[in-house]
Amino acid sequence: MTKAMAPPLASVECGAPTRARRRGNPTLTLIATVLGVMMVALDGTIVAVANPKIQVNLHASLVSIQWVTNGYLLALAVTLITIGKFGDHFGHKKVFVTGIIGFALVSAAIGLSGITAKSISLVIAFRVVQGIFGAMLMATALALLRETFSGAKLNRALGVWGGVIGASTAAGPIVGGLLVQHINWESCFFINVIVGTVALVMTALFVLETPPSPAARSFDVPGIALLSTGLFLLIWALIKASAYGWGSGRTVGSFTGAVVAFVLFAICESRATQPLLPLRLFRSISLSAGTVLTALLMFSLFGSMFFMTFFMENVRGFDPVMTGMRLVPLTGTLIVGAPLASLVINKIGPRVPMAIGMLITSGGLFGLSRLGVASSPNDTIIWFVLVSFGLSPVVVGGADVIVGNAPVELAGVAGGLTTTAMQVGGAMGTSVLGAVMSAKVDDLLPVRWAAAHLPTLTAPQLVHVKAAVSVGATPVAAGTPGPVVALVTHVAHATFMSGLNAGFLVAAIVALVGAAVALLVKSGQATDNATAIV
């Protein structure tokens, strides 16, 4: 693979001198790449705001509505590294374009299924397929950037990438709120068709194909099967543990199966001539620590986003638009934080900014754990800003540490590893914090219900009431006297907030662990050479 000195952001990569103004231009490549990934980022936060409406409209349980998010994350996590390998083999642009088209079409199918079939199961199934196409975008986007930029220029590109992703993430709750309130929740998915069309045109015009990697000449089928099985069983266990019970045979069996699959995968990879995920990558302590840190980042962010929508809408009574506005400090701070973090990381390296960032995030999560039923949504602003500002150097530094410490010829695999860590962390955030909340509700609700001298519940009624309280809803039937409604509302909201507090406290502790892990990282390859794109 030929090498060339990396030009400034606005100049042209070596190997395409006749396309100086358009094709192969690093800046235009960055814009096109970010537009494609923007769909995935926008989709995540739009769905977070739409979840309460989807739950009501499709009569979904808490477990089912979690699957709208977790089914998507599961498909992403299971396929990312494999798809990264496909990009290394066939060319990252081909896979990226396929991801754009598929993601947009499946988004339209989700919206249509909500209008016609009214089936939560169908929505979840399409979300799984959408996750596979999302993996095509996420894995290859970072690989395209890695092959276009290097050294400080890669950090700058990742700063822009993180900032734009932050902007689209911030726009998601507002756009989603407007769409849900004034049109319907299905329109939150139709919007991906518009974004996807623009991304497709930009990619076709400005992005050049990457050369096939010598390290991806063949496919490691046993490795693909074992890694996919291990990731599936791991995330399945995390998602279903709250329903099955963490000590149940099915949960323990899933975790055990995941461990066995990962061990067999490691043995297989150590003997394969063309391994799916070369284990030599993990000889880098920085890359390994960056992978763990990226997972912890998404654990904190996804957990916060998922449960705060229920606090805003069901406890505080906000409409979707107001909910979106109140979540802007959590997502919007990334717009400013990511580019600033990139500048700092370029000067002093990722270790200190990432460690301090996770400490700041921990402080913000601890502040959120102190919220109560009477807390104003304004009380969340400072804590949201701290969480988001603290995560900014991890968003930029995590990608740099993982992708930058991997060889260029394994850029697709490293990009897949980065985003796999994100999705596993996101699934853990919603699942583990959801389990903490459910356990707290299970423990406190019967006691508080009895202490309020409310009518005794049968076993089926208690299950129904717990399901409602777990999302902050008030479980009362039409025609219930006003004083009883007020009493049930007080018990339900107080119990929900106790669960929310416990969840955020766990997230704060996880962020503290992340600060310690950050001390192990160092910057990626500080070379001034970038691979020429042909």
Q: Would 110 be classed as within a structural domain?
A: yes
Q: Which residue has the higher pLDDT, 218 or 56?
A: 56
Query: Is the pLDDT score of 309 beyond 70?
Result: yes
Q: Would 3 be classed as within a structural domain?
A: no
Query: Is the pLDDT score of 532 beyond 70?
Result: no
Q: Which residue has the higher pLDDT, 475 or 151?
A: 475
Amino acid 293: pLDDT: 86
Q: How far is CA 320 from CA 79, 113, 375, 521, in A?
A: 32, 21, 19, 40
Percent of the chain with pLDDT over 90: 10
- Written as six digits, the tokens of 76 are 């992403």
| Position 526 confidence tier, pLDDT thresholds 50, 70, 90 | very low
| Position 102 confidence tier, pLDDT thresholds 50, 70, 90 | very high
Amino acid 23: pLDDT: 67
Q: Choose the most confident range, by mean pLDDT, from 149-153, 404-408, 478-482.
A: 478-482
Q: Choose the most confident range, by mean pLDDT, from 19-28, 125-134, 181-190.
A: 125-134
| Position 10 confidence tier, pLDDT thresholds 50, 70, 90 | very low
pLDDT mean over 432-438: 81
Q: Would 318 be classed as within a structural domain?
A: yes
pLDDT mean over 335-342: 79
pLDDT mean over 310-317: 83
Which of 233, 257, 273 is the C-terminal boundary of a domain? 273
Which of 248, 273, 298 is the C-terminal boundary of a domain? 273
Instruction: Provide φ and ψ at 205, rounded to 5°.
Output: -80, -40
| Position 261 confidence tier, pLDDT thresholds 50, 70, 90 | very high
Percent of the chain with pLDDT over 70: 83
Mark whether 200 and 241 lie in a shared domain.
no
Amino acid 210: pLDDT: 73
The number of folded domains in the chain is: 2
Amino acid 528: pLDDT: 39
pLDDT mean over 202-213: 77
Instruction: Report DSSP letters for 111-162, one per residue.
Output: HHHHHHT--HHHHHHHHHHHHHHHHHHHHHHHHHHHHH--HHHHHHHHHHHH
pLDDT mean over 427-438: 79
| C-alpha closest to that of 141 among 213, 214, 39 | 39
Mark whether 45 and 125 lie in a shared domain.
yes
Q: Which residue has the higher pLDDT, 124 or 531?
A: 124
Q: Would 491 be classed as within a structural domain?
A: no
Q: Say how many C-beta atoms besides its own lie within 10 A of residue 273's C-beta.
A: 7
Query: Is the pLDDT score of 294 beyond 80?
Result: yes
- Residue 314 is given by DSSP the state I
pLDDT mean over 312-332: 77
Query: What is the average pLDDT score of the chain?
Result: 79
Contact present, 355 and 515 (Cβ < 8 Å): yes
Query: Is the pLDDT score of 377 beyond 80?
Result: no
Mark whether 307 and 386 lie in a shared domain.
yes
Query: Is the pLDDT score of 54 beyond 60?
Result: yes
| Position 530 confidence tier, pLDDT thresholds 50, 70, 90 | very low
Contact present, 222 and 261 (Cβ < 8 Å): no
Instruction: Report DSSP letters for 216-280, one per residue.
Output: GSS--HHHHHHHHHHHHHHHHHHHHHHHH-TTSHHHHHHHHHHHHHHHHHHHHHHH-SS-SS-GG
Query: Is the pLDDT score of 4 beyond 70?
Result: no
Question: pLDDT tens for residues 56-85?
Answer: 778 777 667 777 877 887 787 788 778 877
Q: How far is CA 74 from CA 230, 236, 288, 418, 507, in A?
A: 12, 8, 21, 15, 21
Give the whole-angstrom CA distance, residue 159 versus residue 506: 29
Contact present, 144 and 207 (Cβ < 8 Å): yes
Q: Would 490 be classed as within a structural domain?
A: no
Mark whether 33 and 91 lie in a shared domain.
yes
| Position 362 confidence tier, pLDDT thresholds 50, 70, 90 | very high
Q: Which domain holds residue 251?
A: 220-273
| Position 364 confidence tier, pLDDT thresholds 50, 70, 90 | very high
Q: Would 489 be classed as within a structural domain?
A: no
Q: Say how many C-beta atoms besides its own lie within 10 A of residue 408's C-beta.
A: 21
Mark whether 231 and 268 lie in a shared domain.
yes
| Position 360 confidence tier, pLDDT thresholds 50, 70, 90 | very high
| Position 100 confidence tier, pLDDT thresholds 50, 70, 90 | very high
- With vertex at residue 422, the alpha carbon angle to CA 40 and CA 170, rounded to the nearest 5 degrees, is 45
Query: Is the pLDDT score of 427 beyond 80?
Result: no
Q: Choose the most confident range, by mean pLDDT, from 183-187, 258-262, 335-339.
A: 258-262
Amino acid 13: pLDDT: 43
Give the whole-angstrom CA distance, residue 52 versus residue 180: 10
Mark whether 312 and 340 lie in a shared domain.
yes
Which of 235, 253, 273 is the C-terminal boundary of a domain? 273
Q: How far is CA 339 from CA 35, 79, 165, 370, in A?
A: 17, 29, 11, 30
Query: Is the pLDDT score of 21 beyond 60?
Result: no
Q: Would 59 be classed as within a structural domain?
A: yes
Mark whether 120 and 166 lie in a shared domain.
yes
| Position 11 confidence tier, pLDDT thresholds 50, 70, 90 | very low
Give the whole-angstrom CA distance, residue 75 versus residue 520: 30
Query: Is the pLDDT score of 19 beyond 80?
Result: no
Mark whether 373 and 432 lie in a shared domain.
yes
Mark whether 357 and 407 lie in a shared domain.
yes
Amino acid 150: pLDDT: 66
Q: Would 506 be classed as within a structural domain?
A: yes
| Position 165 confidence tier, pLDDT thresholds 50, 70, 90 | low
Amino acid 527: pLDDT: 38
Amino acid 99: pLDDT: 92
Mark whether 213 and 224 lie in a shared domain.
no
Mark whether 256 and 268 lie in a shared domain.
yes
Q: In CATH, what number is assigned to the domain containing residue 504?
A: 1.20.1250.20
| Position 214 confidence tier, pLDDT thresholds 50, 70, 90 | low
Query: Is the pLDDT score of 366 beyond 70?
Result: yes
Mark whether 371 and 241 lie in a shared domain.
no
